[in-house]
Every structure is written in structure tokens, then in C-alpha cells.
Amino acid sequence: MFPATCSRLSRVALSCRGQRTLSLLSSSGSSNWSKVVSDAEKIVGYPTSFMSLRCLLSDELSNVAMHVRKLVGTQHPLLNTARGFVYDSKNNLQMRGLVVLLLSKAAGPNQAASDLLTQDMVSGIYPSQRNLAEITELIHTAFLVHRGIVDLKELTVSDGSLKDMQFGNKMAVLGGDFLLANACTGLAQLDNTKVVELISSAIGDLVQGVYYENSSITEDLPNVTRLKNTFQDNGLIDGVNVAQWEEQTFLSHGALLAKSCQAAMELARHDMESQRVAYKYGKHLSLGHKLNSDLQPFMKSDVGEPASFSFSAAPVVFHRQIVGQETWHQQLQQAKTFRNQVDYSKLLAAVKSEKGVSSAMDLCCYHSNKALEAIQAFPSSEARSALENIASAITKF
């Protein structure tokens, strides 16, 4: 099962150049977000930035990192991914593991499970739950690395030589596969069939979600100079509706966290209700964070700042649904330049002039409230308060 999934994840990344983001838990405004994360890390016993340290310090990955240095001076996205992990100043990259640990601590030990020894717990968390948090981060990291694979047919002179970009692609495939293989090995060592099924299905969801994304759009906005035949692409013009957007976003950004939260409850032998609540929290938190991330370009008011947003961003999806396809097509034509490219500043103004942005904000608040509602099922504690703070922070724009 795992080798096939690993291969699929590598292949799907080839078509994702425009979809690269370092985390679904993207910049949520600020110093407030960093403080929420910092406080939460103290509760679970250690900074989650060390979550994957054993893997990252291995000889195999050290060799990969040494080869990646050859890409310095090129525009290969693997470099930006690597920099993001070294200089994660906004505390975005290890959030899935942190949430898994906080939920594990908030739920506490299962008194009915006599074979699980409470003396093995560290800071109120079972060793298997900590291992699960690490596995979750490894899968997410592997996914990010795989998404750094470049479509060589769309290279420009400024990107770097073809040889260097081909080399970067090989490193992205091998590095991502290595991380995913380590995650799968750790998953098997948990010795829990249901957990293996949950996380395996989450990997499948990631792949399926990315395929859905790429059937809707061809490129992300930061690469506007590389857009070709934009208006001939039916997916870009017609897009998806809000319900489809939520479904696709859950697959590509939320399934891993939601199912990891449920798996953490399963490892502690908690009942199905606790597992359902944990899954619900992870699901709504993920969707809320993605909405927050999508809204960021539309909340900036700096004059002259270049537009940077995706056609699959929630405000655009809402806007397209509100104004209708005919008006949307007209706005696309009006934003068309003489080189058959797109003036995205005009589209940004068009989206901001309607209710697409406010509708996306309302949906973000809805998912935040649903996450807060779910977490109330656990007893009051420091860990639950931290989870509440995280859910509330995604509504700060």
C-alpha cells in the first residue's frame, strides 16, 4: 500500500507548481499567532519544531541537503521549501503535530484501558501519541517537498539551467519519498491497524485533493508571467462552487490533521464519541486556517503592493458564485492584457468590490466556531484552552 501511495504523491506533484504553499496553517496575522503557538508548545513539553529532528539529522537526509546546495542561484522551489523549514519565524510548519499533542493531552488517559501504563506518559501524553504527531509532520513535510517539483516545459531563462532544474526535481522526489518512507515505517511500528488505515487514507486524500485542484486551475498567481492561454482554460474560467471548494480543500488541506486527531484518540483507546469530536475539531480548524490564508491578499491595503492570490482562493470562488459566470467572464476579459495574460490587480479590485471577501470571512468564523464547539466535549484544562486559542486565532486577519 505505502510504496504505491509514495509513487502517486510524487507523480501528482508534477502538476502542482502553482499550488505551492508551506503550510495550510498560514500566516494568521501576526505576533498574536506566534504567542498562541509558543504558549501551546510549553503545555505539551517541548517545541514541536524538534518533532522530526531524528529524521532530519539522519545521514541519508544530510546527503540530500548537501546536494540541494547546488540549487543556490536557481529559482527551484525546493530551495524555498528548505528555507521555510530553517527560518520558520511565523511558527507555521509544525502545527499539525502540535494540535495532535494538545488533543492527546486534553483528552487525557483512558482509565478503562488497563494495558496502557500512565507512568509511560510524558506531560500527560502517551509515547505512541508523540510518535503519531511526528509521523503526521513527516507526511506533511514529504508532501511539501514533492510539491516542489517543477514542470520543465514551463521553464524561463531566469529559472536556471535545465540541468539544475532537472537535478532539483530528482532531489524533490527522493527527499519526499525518503520522508514518506520514514513516516510509513513509524506508522507500522505503532502496531494499530485502525490508525494505519486512518493515516493511509489521509495520504490518499492528499493526492486526490491535489488532482482536484489541478483540474480547476493551471497556475497560481505569483507566476503570472508564465500564464499561457489562460482564458482558453475552462477550469480557470468556470471553476468550482463553494461546496466543491470545501470538499476539495478538506481533502488537500484538512484530511491529514482531522484523521491524525482521530488516530490520537484511538491510540489512547478512547471511545468513538471522543474520536468523532477530535476529528471534527481537526476538520474545522484546517478549513478555517485555509480560509484565513486565502483571505490574506485581500486584507492588505498597501498601495503598490503586487497582487498575489490564487483563482482557487475562497474569496474568488465566492465572488464568482455571487456575480455569476457571465459577469465573471467579462471581468476576466477586462483584465486581459495585450499579451493574453492577466492584470491581477484589476481582478483583485473586482473581487474586493463585491461580497466575496466578507462571505469568506463569515465562513472562516463559522469553522472557527465549529472547532470551538467540538473542543468543549473535553474537560477544562490548559491543553483545551490552548486549542481554543488556536481556533480563535484563525479569525484574526
331-375 pLDDT tens trace = 888 877 666 666 777 888 888 888 999 999 999 999 999 999 999
Residue 130 has pLDDT above 80, yes or no: yes
Give, for 248, the enclosing helix (H) or strand (E): helix 242-249
Rounded to an integer, what distance in angstroms lies between the CA atom of residue 107 and that of residue 120?
Answer: 16
pLDDT digits (tens, 9 = 90+) for 3-27: 444 444 444 443 333 333 333 344 4
Whose cell is 517541548? That residue is: 46
Given a cut of 60, whether residue 175 has pLDDT beyond it is: yes
Taking residues 57-72, report their average pLDDT.
54
pLDDT at position 119:
65
Average pLDDT score over residue span 284-300? 90
Query: Which tens digits make up the pLDDT trace of 225-263?
Result: 333 344 433 344 456 788 889 999 999 999 999 999 999
Under 8 Å between Cβ of 302 and 389 = no
pTM: 0.79
Residue 289 has pLDDT above 70, yes or no: yes
Q: How far is CA 347 from the centre of its chain?
A: 25
Percent of the chain's residues with pLDDT above 90: 31
